[in-house]
Structure 1
Amino acid sequence: MALPGGAAPAPTGTAAPAPTGTAAPAPAATGTAALRELTGLLAPAAPLPGRGEERMSLLIDSGRDADCRVAVDDTERVLGPYGAWLVEVDHDSIVVVDGARVRLDALLRPTEAARLRLVAGMPCRWSVTGEDGAGWFPPDVPHRHDFHGRPYFHGDDLVVDVPAHPLTVTVTRGMEYGEAALALTPVPGGEHLVELTPRRLYDAAVRGWYGGDLHAHLNRAGDLVGVPADAAAAQHGEDLHVLNLLAGNVAGRRVYDREALDRWTGRDLPWSDGTHVARMGVEYRNDLLGHFYAFAPRAAPGRFHTGFAGDDDWPPNADGLRELRGLGALVGYSHPFHAAAPDPVTDGGPPAGVLSPVPRDCAARELVADAALGLVDSLDVLTHASIPATAAVYRRLVGAGNRLAVTAGTDAVISFTRSGSRSNPPGWARVYAQVEGELTARSFAAAVRAGRTFATTGPWLELSVDGLGPGGVVRARRGDTISVTATAVGPEVAAVRIRTADGVRAGAERLPSGGGRAGAGDTLTVTAELRVDGPTYVLAEVLCDPHPRTLTTTGYALTSPVHVEVDGRRVARPEDVRWCLDWLDLLERLIRQHARLAGPYQFGDHVSLLEQARGVYRARLSC
């Protein structure tokens, strides 16, 4: 219920209606003079049988720039300018605003209840929505909403109480599936069996590829407490093969889910099976130098973070990387960059275009040094941060001679139900790794370390260079020709491109009719014969059209590179090496100006790390 009063902030906390069986929001408020001053959103809470016994949540949201007095039954409150009050009422409650009574019955209209039974034959992601977009959920299930604001929940053979109004039921199961939908108007009082099964778009596991989300959280603030059953339902409902739930801090020293990490470190979580592996991992955090994930450590580290609650920004992240690697963990930088990307075609922008001047924005600033020293296994190019900016930095790093796998980490948080990408299901972006043998935490980590990966927001992507896939090494001679093929599958695919250290070398675009120049339907292929004039790399990328199944602003897919060595030499493109050296200079300046350090010796440790990295890059220039 909104009180008028000019330009007011958008209401917050307006919950979608839950099923009641007796009342639903009216299309518009009518009635008394007092009511004409009010528009309403009534969100019925836990339904009880019988009109007049049903309790519901009423949000009173003021758009006035002055105080107003509101009374609900026996409770009175003064709302300040643009204030809000969420209060529980029933149909007989008395609401008075500045002395004028508001009749709640004029905000309601009678309706009858029905019941849906949802069956897919396997765990899935479901949405049940009314014509106004409001969501309906099974009992005792968190009311989650994705990046687009769509309500969803996970499971199979579920019962949902709904109003006997027109509804739409949709079901999907992560990015390897399409969406099935059914529109219906249930008959009052009955239970309706809804059998829907989403169509599979591709099957990665039968090809030996398994998709993982290397950065998700069970709890990290949010509007509820995430429990293991919620994570299990999400992983199986999304058919996410690998889930890395990270223990980490937020703004102080407290490490969320530390107890779960201590209990389950080195072991699969109990809902794992032959094609689904879940582990507790670590997010190591410093907001000045960057955050990184650790997957499948044998034990908890001695340190989880630096620079919080007045702590020193010391030691460098490299110490944390070395410790976690010593514990057997796969490590990589997470949600790296939020700044605008350099020019996407020439990558001509300086590092200052990505190395944000905002000191503590979690950007992966130490990445360029740690990559040179071989301390990092991967980079989460697909993330809730800027995908174009991160992809541009990734190409610079690979072009400068660093061998990093491309990975994905969504930062999805089970304890959020409404927070953009944070409340998306885990696995809305994934890294697919080609595993040798059975899927285990160890075999998945080994595949990532070997660079046998691609990351995607949805499309399937294949790359072959002289018969070798991502992570492979082609040994050529100057003047040789290599054969390259890239294929993408997915309804959102707009273009496929082949890149080398020299930029885009070939591409294919889907025509407006849906067919591609080298493919048709949901498949698009590009082939090229490329002359090799020096050491390089080859990778493939997919550009996407907007699509409802893309749960972020940018649909994209990118492979790890196939490395092309020429006469025994690895790629070290001078322009990329100098770009990395410029980055290190900017980072040293940033540390000098903004780091919290106890004394010169701590600054000296940072400078020593940067000097080691400079030595690596300078050596590559001299080759």
Structure 2
Amino acid sequence: MFPEPVARALADYRALRDTHGVCWGEPPLTYVVQAWATVFLDNRYDFWGAALRLLAERHPGIPQDELEDLLGEVDADEVVRDALGGDVVDNLPALRLTPGGVMLEAVTQVVLDDRPFRTSLLVDSSRDAPVTVVADGTAYEVPPRGAKVVEAGESVTAGGRPVDLAPLRRRATRAAVRVRAGFPCRWSVTGANGQGWYPEGAPRKVDAQRRPYFHGDDLVVAVPAEPVTVTVARGMEYTSAEVVITPEAGAETLVELAPERLYDAAARGWYGGDLHVHLNWMGEEPAAPELAAAAQHGEDLHVLNLVAGNVASGRVYDLEALAHWAGEDLPWSDDRHLARIGVEYRSDLAGHLTAFGLREPPRRCHTGFQGTADWPPNTVACEELRALGGVIGYGHPFHTAFGEDDPPGAVLGRGRNCSAREIVADAALGLVDALDVLNHSSIEATAAVYRRLVGAGNRLAVTAGTDAVLSFCRRGTASSPPGWERVYANVAGPLTAESYAEAILLGRTFATTGPWLELTVNGHGPGDTVDLAAGRRAEIVVTSIGPEVERLEIRTADGVLAQGPPGRLTTSLVADEPTYVVAVATGPPHPRTLHGRGAYAHTSPVYVNVAGSHVAREADVRWCLAWLDRLEELLREFGTFETEEQLGDHLEVYERAREVYRGRLA
């Protein structure tokens, strides 16, 4: 399925993994360290809090926001130990070294027949002296009261004394199940303690709710001859089904099970896509294109945008795939499933952009890494990506709690991070098309910023990008299946890259963690403009589908206009001044929802013009101007520039944006 340059790149990634582990030798920026740690720390455990506490002990008196600049100093093994707080997770048993001896704690894993067994092992010492631990012949020095994560399977000694590894594993007799739905699905086969079982050769993937899964149909899975649970699902447009069986030892048991459809978006002319998915970006198991194909069809994900991108160095992962397939549908595409490869353009000062529909690779994919200059501004990338045919949006935009009335500094923060800081300038200059309001980080903060931008007169589509990474097997939402959030676009005619891109550019979208959400204003949907005379009334209707929805909202530039229970919500709006209308659906955590905060859906606006005037709310315009002022301060304090002219290029962009916003106040 893939050409020689892509095959060579995949071999390189496997060599990097084998040599360096999960992080593939990337420089230890904070999020690289966090990526390694969160292979063991699921969403129950706080990596950042544990890391900051360690730094506070090392640097007493330094404020927390400044401690964040020092996160690269932390000992990641100790952070994992401290974050777990004495808990033991299934993929990280703990060897406790106490003054009185050793104790091995584990969630015992079932092993079939005589298959070999290996695991990561947390060595946690409460001793006041260093201890030498030897795992499978490799010696590790564990510092006083320190921690070390090692790999083990056959033998471990601590201080020269052997450790009994019996708690790690339990042997069981082999059986097999064949799972069949009649079409590609997502399957979960679990046994004792929730342990997952997978087809031969499948990566051992776990989603954000700690559910093992794999994709396909008519697959054979080796399992123990004891009770196992088989669950089948197929993305957000379907329900799930489940059965518990006890397979016969030495035999193959057929399980025929299929999910039921909850809604059919394509039948209504809407197609759901995930605009931010990495094939390879560190991880336990480098991913071949076949894995993306299986995931897309198994999730019934209409549009998949794989993105090439760097991590913390100059290496751009999957650049070879982009060079080969840019401008083409990927080989597994069909009339209901479209896959393309684009790029994530990454600046850890100004923000990360994603591009869908590129005709060829850009000349530059990142700025500001490994001490290089934060130059040129993202506007230059936007212009190039657009010239190459890309639909451009900011991904995983914001990461902190942020209220509707908070000043810009509350979300802009300080230091270097991947927040979408330049969005306020790029939106004013018409250089960006969308914002991933649905993302793996703070949806609420992003939605609040989005509504400020729209209220200030910018036209941006609501989109979704999960930042799923197919090469990660166990890392929260990153190892969850692509399409766990989607942007649905109302496409005119058959699904093609061009028709889907056009629908986004027209703003005919809503984004969701799962619920179906529909909005009309006088019969017009998202992206449309309704022209009214002053004092005229508009009728608004919102409908939703999905068991996870608890509340519907209708919002305008002035805030919440109406709210109510799920299903259907109606109200009317008297047009006194230009505004916009959006619909929002929310709900608590739910099995169908992989975002930790719960269910969420948000439409793009229906614009309401009054007497020919477009919305440009003064409070929102001034908020955007204040954003640009604070952004300039951040750039001067934390940016890296080789010349004054490079800084000047950024400042010139901000001044051009200010002129646009000031013009809207006139």
Using the alignment, how far apart are the partners of 2:636 and 2:158 within structure 1? 57
Number of the residue aligned with 1:147: 208
Aligned residues, how many?
Answer: 576
Using the alignment, how far apart are the partners of 1:99 and 1:354 within structure 2? 52
Amino acid at match of 2:613: R
2:658 is the counterpart of 1:614:
yes
2:432 is the counterpart of 1:371:
no
Tell me how large the CA RMSD over aligned residues is: 2.5
- In structure 2, the residue corresponding to 1:118 is in which secondary structure? strand
Task: Please list, as runs of the form range in 1=range in 2, the aligned pairs for 1:308-347 lying within 5 A after superposition.
Answer: 308-342=369-403, 347=404
- Name the TM-score, length of structure 1 as normaliser: 0.88
Residue of structure 1 aligned with 2:609, choices 556, 561, 565: 565
Amino acid at match of 2:657: A
Question: Residues 97, 433 of structure 1: CA spacing in aligned structure 2 closer, same or farther, 3 A cutoff?
Answer: same
Answer yes or no: is the 8 Å Cα contact 1:463–1:484 preserved in 2.
Answer: yes
Once the two structures are superposed, residues 205-235 of structure 1 have per-residue CA deviations (whole angstroms, 9 ceiling, x without a partner) of: 0111000011110011111211101111111
Amino acid at match of 1:115: A
Answer yes or no: is the 8 Å Cα contact 2:109–2:169 preserved in 1.
Answer: no
Question: Residues 60, 483 of structure 1: CA spacing in aligned structure 2 closer, same or farther, 3 A cutoff?
Answer: closer
Answer yes or no: is the 8 Å Cα contact 1:334–1:383 preserved in 2.
Answer: yes
Number of the residue aligned with 2:410: 353
Using the alignment, how far apart are the partners of 2:329 and 2:151 within structure 1? 42
Residue 36 of structure 1 and its aligned partner are, at CA, apart by 8.8
Answer yes or no: is the 8 Å Cα contact 2:135–2:151 preserved in 1.
Answer: no
Once the two structures are superposed, residues 286-308 of structure 1 have per-residue CA deviations (whole angstroms, 9 ceiling, x without a partner) of: 11111110111111111111111
Using the alignment, how far apart are the partners of 2:233 and 2:269 within structure 1? 22
Number of the residue aligned with 1:194: 255
Question: Residues 54, 576 of structure 1: CA spacing in aligned structure 2 closer, same or farther, 3 A cutoff?
Answer: closer
Once the two structures are superposed, residues 523-582 of structure 1 have per-residue CA deviations (whole angstroms, 9 ceiling, x without a partner) of: x10011211101110110001121012111132100000011111000001110110011
Using the alignment, how far apart are the partners of 2:355 and 2:88 within structure 1? 35
Amino acid at match of 1:125: R
Number of the residue aligned with 1:276: 337
Task: Please list, as runs of the form range in 1=range in 2, the aligned pairs for 1:11-410 lying within 5 A after superposition.
Answer: 37-41=103-107, 43=109, 53-57=114-118, 59-66=120-127, 67-68=130-131, 75=137, 77=139, 80=142, 81-89=146-154, 97-98=158-159, 111-342=172-403, 347-357=404-414, 359-410=415-466
Q: Which moved more, 1:452-461 or 1:62-71?
A: 62-71
Amino acid at match of 1:229: E
Answer yes or no: is the 8 Å Cα contact 1:501–1:573 preserved in 2.
Answer: yes
Question: Residues 269, 12 of structure 1: CA spacing in aligned structure 2 closer, same or farther, 3 A cutoff?
Answer: farther
Residue of structure 2 aligned with 1:417, choices 473, 485, 488: 473
Amino acid at match of 2:573: L
Residue 588 of structure 1 and its aligned partner are, at CA, apart by 1.2
Residue of structure 2 aligned with 1:594, choices 602, 622, 638: 638
2:593 is the counterpart of 1:531:
no
Structure 1 stretches lacking a partner, 5+ long: 1-6, 18-24, 511-523
Question: Residues 590, 96 of structure 1: CA spacing in aligned structure 2 closer, same or farther, 3 A cutoff?
Answer: closer
Question: Residues 355, 69 of structure 1: CA spacing in aligned structure 2 closer, same or farther, 3 A cutoff?
Answer: closer
Using the alignment, how far apart are the partners of 1:59 and 1:556 within structure 2? 36
Using the alignment, how far apart are the partners of 2:378 and 2:396 within structure 1? 15
Question: Residues 226, 54 of structure 1: CA spacing in aligned structure 2 closer, same or farther, 3 A cutoff?
Answer: closer
Q: Which moved more, 1:590-599 or 1:321-330?
A: 590-599
Using the alignment, how far apart are the partners of 1:594 and 1:37 within structure 2? 47
Structure 2 stretches lacking a partner, 5+ long: 1-79
Larger helix share, 1 or 2: 2
Question: Residues 98, 603 of structure 1: CA spacing in aligned structure 2 closer, same or farther, 3 A cutoff?
Answer: closer
2:498 is the counterpart of 1:439:
no
Answer yes or no: is the 8 Å Cα contact 1:129–1:168 preserved in 2.
Answer: yes
Answer yes or no: is the 8 Å Cα contact 1:315–1:602 preserved in 2.
Answer: yes
- In structure 1, the residue corresponding to 2:583 is in which secondary structure? strand
Residue 39 of structure 1 and its aligned partner are, at CA, apart by 3.2
Number of the residue aligned with 2:39: none
2:594 is the counterpart of 1:551:
yes
Amino acid at match of 2:212: P
Q: Which moved more, 1:553-562 or 1:449-458?
A: 553-562
Residue 184 of structure 1 and its aligned partner are, at CA, apart by 1.7
- In structure 1, the residue corresponding to 2:393 is in which secondary structure? strand
Using the alignment, how far apart are the partners of 2:88 and 2:150 within structure 1? 10
Residue 312 of structure 1 and its aligned partner are, at CA, apart by 1.2
Residue of structure 2 aligned with 1:504, choices 548, 560, 570: 560
Number of the residue aligned with 2:538: 482
Once the two structures are superposed, residues 409-463 of structure 1 have per-residue CA deviations (whole angstroms, 9 ceiling, x without a partner) of: 1110011011111111111110000000100001000000000000000000000
Residue 98 of structure 1 and its aligned partner are, at CA, apart by 4.7
Using the alignment, how far apart are the partners of 2:140 and 2:389 within structure 1? 58
Using the alignment, how far apart are the partners of 1:163 and 1:204 within structure 2? 39
Residue of structure 2 aligned with 1:585, choices 614, 629, 633: 629
Number of the residue aligned with 2:4: none
- In structure 2, the residue corresponding to 1:464 is in which secondary structure? strand
> Percent of aligned pairs with the same residue?
54
- In structure 1, the residue corresponding to 2:193 is in which secondary structure? coil
Question: Residues 84, 12 of structure 1: CA spacing in aligned structure 2 closer, same or farther, 3 A cutoff?
Answer: farther
Residue 618 of structure 1 and its aligned partner are, at CA, apart by 0.8
Q: Which moved more, 1:592-601 or 1:254-263?
A: 592-601
Amino acid at match of 2:398: F
